[in-house]
Every structure is written in structure tokens, then in C-alpha cells.
Structure 1
Amino acid sequence: MKAKYLLLTTSIMALSNAALAYDNIPYGCTHKKHIDYSDGNNNLAGSIESGLNAVYGGINNQWSYLDWGSFIYNVNSLVSSGADIEISGPDYVVQGEPARFKADLPYEPNNFLRSVNFGTSEYNSKVKKKSDWDANAYAQLSFDYTYGEGLAWSVYSDDICSTKSVMVQKRPSIEKLSLGKYGNLIDVTVSYSVDKYSKAKISNQSPRIKFRYVSEEGELNVSDWVEVSLNSSVHSIRLSTQYAGTFRVTAIINDGTYTESLYLGNVTVGGSPHRPCPQCHPDV
């Protein structure tokens, strides 16, 4: 395992006693940054603070900015070196939903069933877990107040620690604008949105939409994924069926990481009569 960053000087990490007291954050951490931001902002602490300000108008009463802020600002002063622990996990997490992170310790007997602390850039987030017989520990971490970049960390001694940047986003959404028929086709129009901190937005990749429609007689259809515009919010499509019938229609959207679905309703279309059963010959 190779670490990527170490502090420039120990004096830079002169953390407040309060910061060390509440989360036992060590004086040195390796840091993994997963993305270059489209807005050119590579300042970790500034990203976290701006997200909090946007959502909450500043640090609320549950937070002590001085307690954790000094640590986060010092993370911006990391340079290449080595370490004995590495945290890994998702690059994108949903605000308020737990996500699974892993601490990878060196594979040696001393690191089996060893206590490992995990936490985030949010106040009072520390949890303690035991490593397994593979010298790995796992924890569910949640970012309840962060919007934008956040920080996850793991530590198993006073000065051996690893941190990882994550983007904290909201889930994609999709809504029905219209559902009907056009001749023997299902005619659908939906509106959609993807969060500005989603993979689609950050990476400038198109989100994708598809439709699932099932008839009362059992005919199942799933359309291909269709890339939709980042700059629009409406998508229309006409879906063909093999047979006539009443179909239950569901829309599905993916933002590069997360998928959401919405049942749109039923629609009846004409066409060839449905076979008595899916296994029957078409001429029966």
C-alpha cells in the first residue's frame, strides 16, 4: 500500500487541543483527492465551508468551527510521502445517507482485530470499529450537514491516519409531465434534475434515462438508456410495444452514480392482440 501525502511540516499541524480532544485526529494524515473540480477550486477547506454556508448560512450551533476547521485547512498543505493505513470508499455520497468506508491496514498479526477510529469533517462523527482477519476495518459514515466536498478519515494510532475527499450530493430526481398514447405508441414526457455535485455534473457527463413498461398480460419491455442533456430538464419519447394492452410505465434516471425510479401510471395502446400466453406460438 502506498500513501500519497504527508504534511509539509509538523508546525503546520498545530491543532487546537479542542480538535484533538473530541475526535483524536492525529498530527499527520495522508490524503486522497479523487477529482479536479470543474470550477477550478481545489481548496478542500474552502469547498467544505462554502457548502455549509450555502445550505445553512454558516456553521450552526451544533458545530464548533474552530474545533475541526483547523484540521481541514491543514489538509490543504499535504505533500507526497508514505503511510501505513489507507481509507477507501465511494467518491460520491448522498447527503444524510450512510456510506461504507474501508480502512486498509498492513497485513500483519498486530493489525488483526485492532481498534480503528473513523470519522468525517462533521463534528462529533467518530465511530470505532474492529479490523478483521484480513487487517481491514469497515464503517458506515454519514454526511448530514455537508453539501459539496467533505472529508472521511480513519486512524489506528496517534500519528497514523488517512483521509479521503468525497462529494456530498442530493439524489437525481424525475417527474411526470405527461403520459398518453400516440397511435399505437406510448407517449411520455418527463422532467428531470441532477445535483450540481453529482458525477454527471462534476465530470460534465450526460445523465441517462430509460423506461420500463409492463402490460397486464405480462409483456415486459425496457428501453435502452438514453443520454439526456445537462443543460435541459425535459425529455420526451415514444415507446413501441409488441402487442396491444394496458401498460404500467416507470421512468428511471442515473446521474453517473445513483439511480432513481418513478412509477408514472398506466396507459392503454392498440395493436396486435396479445397472445394467450408468453410461451404460445404467435399464430395461436
Structure 2
Amino acid sequence: MYKKALTVLTSALVISSSLSFEVKAIDNSFEPPTSCSYGRDRTSWTLGETRVEFDFRYNESDEQEQDREAEEKEELLRKIVKILEVSIDSLDYIRIESPNYVLQGREFRAKGNLFDRFAYTRFHNSEEGYVGKDKSNWDGNSYLNMKFTDTHGLGVVWITRGDQSECSMEPVYVQKVPTIRTASADAGYGRIDVDLSYFVDHYSKASIESNTDVRIMVTTRSDGFGTTESKSFDFSQLDGNASVSVYPSTGGGPYSVRVQVFDGTYAKSEQLGSVFVPGKSTPPCPNCNLL
């Protein structure tokens, strides 16, 4: 009786250990399964000359462990790039949707489209591995917030079901918000001049997609009439200096000035204070009076 009970207990422990190991292997994987399909209608992903950058952090107390972890993560990167360079047919019954460009350190929401309702979807990314799970709603959709803290460059998000035989993934670019180094506003007769120095991340939409330029927008508010106007200027340089002029329709008077740098997805704005434009004021309407 004692031996039989011991045998049953031992078998249970073996099964439990096996199950725990299997779940851990799924949860902690930092790469999508090789059978993973691309989300939405994307069937391939071209890396071109894009560099993949990951910030590796190690425990300096064990040099051999550091080397081993470095080799494992380098091998992971090679596998991810290989997966992304291969065209894979998409699956209809599980599909992920995520932003193409996300900010480093800021949460974004990934969406899983399923054929089934009230089914659990497991969410993963190439920095953390398994992130969490969510149950699909009446529309067959599930959602989860996640972020990339150390990644700067190409990352991957994916969803799985069951034993990972059902999988869908999306590559994402992890970028930083645009930078305005210096900016100032001055006034001439009937115009406002803005000078600025800016930088847009190499992993932003303006850098990756050839049909998107850096957009600089100048917004002026007439302190006399309370009206606001904006004018945009497109530049192809990611890192440069710009000098632009705007001509307020309300003519001379005091104005508050703001400048914005937009990379196609994210923007950085800065207030430049007030300037006085020489010249005659022009009311925006026949009965408009100064404030």
C-alpha cells in the first residue's frame, strides 16, 4: 500500500514537473515560433539596411554566464531576422494587430483577432517573452498593453493559442520621440521668423518610409484678436536646422508662437513665447474688434 501510494505520488510529481517545464518554455520564449504568420495583410517584411539594436544588461559577477547569455541573445536576434525576412502565409483564425511604430518605454496596446469568442490569447514580445493573456470578447478580439524598455530598433510582438501551433506576429519599430535642440522666434514687417535645430529618430516613420517627410508646423495666436493659424513645412533631413517664415492674416500686432516637429507618428512641441509683428493689423472679420 505504501509503495503504491509512493508510486502514484512520484508519477504525479513527474507529470507536474513536465507540465511546469512546458508552460515555462512557452511563457519565457523571446522569439516567435517558426510557424508564426504575419498579422493583418502583411506577408513579408523587408529589413533593408535597418540595424537591429538591443541593449543587453548582465550580472558582472559571472563572466562565463555573461558570455553564454550574450551568445544566446545573438542567436535569438539571428533567428528573429531570419523569420522576418521570409514570407509566410497568414492564418485566418488568429491575427495580431499592433502599431508599426512605438515609443521606447511607453505602453502601447496590441490586439488579437480570433475566430473564437471567450478564448484566451497569449501575448509575447521579443524583449520580455511572455507578457500576459486576455480572453476574447463577443467580437473575437482580445487586448493587452505592453512596452519595450531597452529595445531601440526592430522588435517583434506575437500572439499564440494552445501549444503555439496557432500564432501571428507583427514587427514593430521602437523609437524615441523627436528632439528640438534649440528654437526661437523673431518678427519682421508682417511676418514671423522661426529658427530651430531638430533631430528625428532613425527608427521613426519619417526615416523608414520614403514617402514620409519630417513636418515642421508653426502655430501663431493673435493676442489682439484671439485667432489661431498654423502652417506646415516638410523637410527630408532627419537631423538638421530649419528657418521658416509665416505671414499672419491679421497683420501687425502681438502673437504667441509655438513650433512642432512631427516624424509621421509622434510629435514634439515647444512654446517660443511672444513676438510683436510690425505693421497694420487686419481684423479677421468686418465686425471683429481687438480683445
Q: TM-score, normalised by structure 2?
A: 0.74
Match for 2:263: what amino acid?
A: D
The structure with the largest alpha-carbon Rg is 2
SS at match of 1:270: strand
Which of 90, 95, 115 is the equivalent residue of 2:99?
A: 90
Which of 266, 272, 280 is the equivalent residue of 1:258?
A: 266
CA root-mean-square deviation: 3.2
Which of 210, 223, 227 is the equivalent residue of 2:217?
A: 210
SS at match of 1:222: strand
Aligned to 2:16: none
Aligned to 1:10: none
Question: Partners of 1:207 and 1:81 in 2: how far apart?
Answer: 34
Aligned to 1:267: 275
Contact (CA 8 Å) 1:212, 1:250: kept in 2 or not? Answer: yes
Q: Is residue 222 from structure 1 mapped to residue 229 from structure 2 by the alignment?
A: yes
User: Quick check: 194-203 or 22-31, which moved more?
Assistant: 22-31
Aligned to 1:12: none
Which of 154, 166, 174 is the equivalent residue of 1:149?
A: 154
Contact (CA 8 Å) 2:109, 2:144: kept in 1 or not? Answer: yes
Aligned to 2:8: none
**1:223 Cα deviation from its structure 2 partner:** 3.3
Distance 1:70 1:112, change over 3 A: farther
Question: Partners of 2:141 and 2:74 in 1: how far apart?
Answer: 28
Residue segments in structure 1 that go unaligned for 5+ positions in a row: 1-15, 42-46
Residue segments in structure 2 that go unaligned for 5+ positions in a row: 1-20, 60-65
Which of 173, 184, 190 is the equivalent residue of 1:178?
A: 184
Question: Partners of 2:286 and 2:130 in 1: how far apart?
Answer: 56
Q: How many residues align?
A: 250
Residues 27-176 of structure 1 correspond to what in structure 2 (within 5 A)? 28-31=35-38, 35-39=45-49, 47-48=51-52, 51-52=53-54, 56=55, 58-61=56-59, 73-75=78-80, 76-77=82-83, 80-83=88-91, 84-106=93-115, 111-123=116-128, 125-158=130-163, 159-176=165-182
User: What percent identity do the matched residue pairs reach?
Assistant: 28
Question: Partners of 2:240 and 2:71 in 1: how far apart?
Answer: 41
Match for 1:88: what amino acid?
A: E
Residues 11-26 of structure 1 correspond to what in structure 2 (within 5 A)? 19-20=25-26, 22=28
Aligned to 2:252: 244
Question: Partners of 1:71 and 1:115 in 2: how far apart?
Answer: 26
Match for 2:144: what amino acid?
A: A
Match for 1:98: what amino acid?
A: E
